Amino acid sequence: MDLHPFLLDQWTARFADASPAIRFHLAGSTGPSWTLAEIAALGDTPLDLTNTPLGYSSAEGSRALREAIGAYHGVDPDWVVITTGGSEALSLLFCVLERPGADILVPDPGYPAYDAMARAWRLKTQTYRLTREARYAQTADVVLAAMTAHSVAAIVNTPHNPTGSVMKRSELALLAGEAAGRGMALIVDEVFHPIYFGMPQPSAADLDNVIVVGDMSKALSLPGLRLGWIIDRDAERRSRLITARSYFAISHSPLLEIVATHALTHSAAILARAQAVADANLRAVEAMVENLRGLLDWVKPEGGTTVFPWFVDGRDSRPFCEAAAAKGVLIAPGDCFGQSHHLRIGIANHCEGLEHGLEIAAAIIKA
């Protein structure tokens, strides 16, 4: 099957070895970077990998790691299946949900891989629209309105990429119950949880009829581990997921599982740093938008690590992003998310200096 070009990945890859080098990488959605040494030093007992056997782990992941993830989300560790990042989690879920003629509900705008990977598993996609006029609010009614007689699941991403909107727990519970009554599963993508700018909320993993996807890459700021998970209380479906993973990947790296377990055990320090960086940088973006009033507008995000402003005059953002990249500031053009007059700015990667990158971007917009 031919997949649509992954525009976001192509955009960032294009500038990986740019000359002059990119100084402000604002096109991504991860938190502030950590070295292995910094992670290993967390806690009273430094992590030591030197005596780790380089064999296979189990397909569902080590018990220690699943217990750490269960504690992180407040659920039974037996519900957890380890995956190679959030992408494999989605692929496994689409694999076991696929049936002839079935469709899945996905947000628009939304993470481009939802649509591409669903189609790769021959699932049709039905989009539910998150609108600027409604401040990108995520409600059960908006999702259910897109349902068809062939819908097998709906995906909710909260906090949402790229807009930063959050579906309230009451709406998630309502949607999960309605979906169950219609024979649908509710997949909640929580890779940006628990980074919130207003009232925080707990994971949805304990709600009935909810499958949670999480990973170490976004809020937990460790994308190089390539480690994610599925939380599913349905034992029969979970068994099918583990079987599929046995064929697809066999297991994850035991080295990376040990690092991830250590990181999750000390996740409070990692999350505190990510939250502090995101809070400070969100204020910087807010100041930039205010300075560019009449040229740029936005809906202030409620959580996550990205903002999704737009050009008031409706211009295509790609020429601006090209010009910014030439000045060392990498911002993702909105056409990567199907909305060309928008641009996505990552706010959690740079611990310092983001204000200067935004100043360069603002000067280009004003020129």
Do 7-36+269-362 and 50-266 come out as alike in CATH topology? no
**Domain-by-domain residue ranges, the chain?**
7-36+269-362, 50-266
CATH topology of domain 50-266: Aspartate Aminotransferase; domain 2 (3.40.640)
Span 295-305, pLDDT tens digits: 999 999 999 99
The secondary structure element, H or E, covering residue 187 is strand 185-189
List the structure tokens of 74: 């407040």
Span 209-243, pLDDT tens digits: 999 999 999 999 999 999 999 999 999 999 999 99
Confidence (pLDDT) at 19: 87
Residues 342 and 32: their CA atoms lie apart, in Å, by 24
Question: What per-residue string of b and e applies to 49-66 under the rule 16 or more CB within 10 Å gives b?
Answer: eeeeeeeebbbbbbebbb
Q: What is the dihedral of CA 196, 202, 203, 208, to 10 degrees?
A: -140
Confidence (pLDDT) at 181: 96
CATH topology of domain 7-36+269-362: Aspartate Aminotransferase, domain 1 (3.90.1150)
Low-confidence ranges of the chain (pLDDT < 70): none
Span 305-356, pLDDT tens digits: 999 999 999 999 999 999 999 999 999 999 999 999 999 999 999 888 899 9
